[in-house]
Amino acid sequence: MTDDEGFGEFVAARGLALSRTAFLLTGDHGLAEDLVQETLVKVAARWRKLTKEGDPEPYVRKVMLNQLRTWRRPRRLAFFPTADLPESLPPVDESAQTELKVALLRALGVLGAKQRIVLYLRFYEDLSESAVAAQLGCSVGTVKRHTHDALKRLRRVAPQLLEVEVRS
């Protein structure tokens, strides 16, 4: 990678947060690890310049989002088509919360990468439409269209999520 001062400390301090972001974007632990690794390899080459410009984390997240958009991998999240989970995964808890989480992950799995990215930035990172547009390098109208299409599709494939009461 790089021996520039601060890169190792950045990865140690923010690596877990980057991994969570990658998992939310991919829905798969293995793909999330790949996404973080590929992102850090790209960022390491520019580390010295990034640290001179200030906080490198926004740039790292932008690289991660761009990397996901341009991946030549399946655009859909990987889900198991059977009711039986592989033995390597822990058994599914039968509680309502677990069922909702599974339903949400499956619903997110039908979305394309751009739609998942927009939903992530809008609702998980709580960015405005203009901030998302700036981050992705597109128009506000494009962000609105992706958000609208993604939410419409989520409502269609997982109507049970509409009945969930959001807790603060």
d(CA 81, CA 61): 31
Q: Where are the beta strands (DSSP E) in the chain?
A: none
The answer to whether the Cα torsion of 27, 25, 139, 155 is positive or negative is positive
Mean pLDDT of 117-133: 89
pLDDT of residue 129: 93
Domain interval for residue 50? 7-70
Mean pLDDT of 17-40: 88
What average pLDDT is seen over the chain? Answer: 81
Residue 168 lies in a domain: no
Residue 83 lies in a domain: no
d(CA 34, CA 130): 29
Residue 92 scores a pLDDT above 50: no
pTM for the predicted model, two decimal places: 0.56
The domain total for the chain is: 2
Residue 82 lies in a domain: no
- pLDDT bin (cut points 50, 70, 90) of residue 152 is very high
pLDDT of residue 74: 52
Residue 135 lies in a domain: yes
Residue 2 scores a pLDDT above 70: no
